[in-house]
Amino acid sequence: MQTKMTSELKIDEVRRWRSEQLSASGFPPGLADETAADERYDLHALIELVERGCPADLAVRILAPLA
């Protein structure tokens, strides 16, 4: 049985990994952390846009989840 603490640790690990991937792709640290925390963003699509020359903040706006 998985405890709440274990689940929260795994979620934190995933967010940290997502943030690291975004940072490594050129996202500023604050934007990387904020975007990584929202699992509705497609991490691969964000990175692909940035690799094609799109500024990170614009990539986030383009792929922003609908409310």
Q: Give the pLDDT band of residue 4 (cuts 50, 70, 90).
A: low
pTM: 0.84
Spatial CA neighbour of 47 closest among 38, 37, 35: 35
Rg (CA), the chain: 13
- What is d(CA 37, CA 42) in angstroms, rounded to the nearest whole number? 12
Domains of the chain, by residue range, sit at 40-67
**What is the per-residue pLDDT across 10-67, written as a single tens digit (0 to 9) for each?**
989 999 999 999 999 999 999 999 999 999 999 999 999 999 999 999 999 999 998 7
Q: What is the pLDDT of residue 67?
A: 73
Specify the residue for token string 């964000």: 46
pLDDT of 1 > 80? The answer is no
Q: How many other C-beta atoms can be found within 10 angstroms of the C-beta atom of residue 5?
A: 8
